């Protein structure tokens, strides 16, 4: 893909690293001269030390070729302007971070894929890491629900338990659903007859109320 990334701060720099490592053609627009120079010296990509809200800058970035434009600056007004300009050039994928929730309707009206309040997401992830150390990954969803990834332990109540009886027997709390299971290298969609084994990696949909009990069901003991 041809990706234009606006902003090379903490979020942008990590994004640049991921995008280039995955073999994408990347153009970076960064207004801070020192930061732009640092990116240019580290990565094999075009770096423009310029104002991304300028039509001429976007033309220099060959925005008409872009498969995606991603804005990562810490100023929502800049991100909104870039998204509007990219929309004028019919860029198919528009992605932006949003820092102030009051600006969400503006981004949504443009049709932007949103990453809301990345600092809050990082804080949530860090908190989950200490609150639930046995959770290897999680995705927070809307309405106080989330997906968590867990590795089943030998002493877990769910070890050896078929899914179809897990809730009725009280082993798995209400509000939990196993949506994916990885056993070895095989990923499968679990069914009622599926029996959970130690070492399985399970992805569980749960509400916040049942989260601690869900973690305990697959890893043994409450966090």
Residue 14 has pLDDT above 90, yes or no: no
- Domain boundary among the residues 116, 145, 179 is at 116
- Where residue 196 sits, what CATH number does that domain have? 3.30.70.1450
* Domain shared by 111 and 126, yes or no: no
Name, in order, each residue with C-beta under 8 angstroms of 44's C-beta and a sequence gap of 6 or more.
Answer: 20
State the pairing for strand pair 93-98/201-207. unpaired
pLDDT (0 to 100) of residue 4: 97
- Mean residue pLDDT of the chain comes to 88
Sign, CA torsion 181/186/188/193: negative
Quick one: tokens of 47?
A: 């770096």
The residue from 82, 116, 150 where one domain ends is 116
Cβ atoms within 10 Å of 22's Cβ, excluding its own: 10
The domain total for the chain is 2
Q: Encode pLDDT of 50-106 as tens digits.
A: 999 999 999 999 999 999 999 999 899 999 999 999 999 999 999 998 888 888 889
Beta-carbon contacts of 146 under 8 Å, excluding residues fewer than 6 positions away, are 138, 139, 140, 205, 206, 208, 211
Residue 68 pLDDT? 95
Same domain, yes or no: 105 and 159: no
**Which pLDDT score is estimated for 113?**
84
Q: What is the pLDDT of residues 173-202, one digit of tens each?
A: 888 889 899 998 888 888 889 999 999 999
Check whether 115 has a pLDDT greater than 50: yes
Among the candidates 77, 101, 116, a domain finishes at 116
* Domain that includes residue 81, residue range: 2-116
pLDDT at 139: 65
What is the C-alpha separation between 8 and 130, in angstroms, rounded? 29
Q: Indicate which CATH number applies to the domain containing 84.
A: 3.40.50.720
Helix, strand, coil fractions of the chain, as percent rounded to 5? 40, 25, 35
- For residue 138, the cross-strand partners are 148
The fraction of the chain above a pLDDT of 70, given in percent, is: 87
What is the pTM for the complete model shown? 0.63
For residue 150, what is the enclosing H or E element? strand 145-151
Q: Are 220 and 189 in contact (CB under 8 A)?
A: no
Whether residues 109 and 21 fall in one domain: yes
Q: Which helix (H) or strand (E) holds 206?
A: strand 201-207
């Amino acid at each position: 893909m041809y990706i234009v990334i606006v902003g090379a701060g903490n979020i942008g720099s990590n994004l640049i690293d991921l995008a280039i490592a995955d073999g994408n053609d990347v153009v970076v627009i960064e207004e801070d001269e020192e930061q732009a120079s640092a990116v240019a010296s580290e990565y094999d990509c075009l770096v423009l030390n310029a104002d991304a809200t300028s039509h001429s800058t976007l033309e220099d970035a060959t925005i008409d070729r872009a498969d995606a434009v991603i804005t990562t600056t810490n100023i929502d007004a800049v991100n909104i302007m870039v998204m509007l300009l990219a929309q004028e050039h019919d860029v198919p994928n528009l992605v932006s971070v949003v820092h102030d929730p009051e600006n969400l309707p503006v981004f949504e009206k443009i049709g932007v894929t949103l990453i809301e309040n990345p600092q809050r997401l990082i804080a949530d992830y860090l908190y989950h890491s200490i609150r639930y150390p046995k959770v290897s990954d999680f995705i927070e969803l809307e309405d106080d629900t989330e997906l968590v990834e867990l590795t089943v332990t030998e002493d877990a109540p769910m070890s050896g338990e078929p899914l179809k009886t897990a809730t009725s027997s009280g082993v798995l709390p209400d509000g939990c659903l196993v949506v994916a299971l990885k056993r070895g290298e095989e990923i499968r969609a679990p069914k009622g007859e599926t029996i959970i084994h130690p070492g399985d990696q399970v992805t569980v949909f749960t509400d916040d109320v049942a989260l601690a009990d869900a973690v305990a069901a697959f890893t043994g003991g409450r966090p």
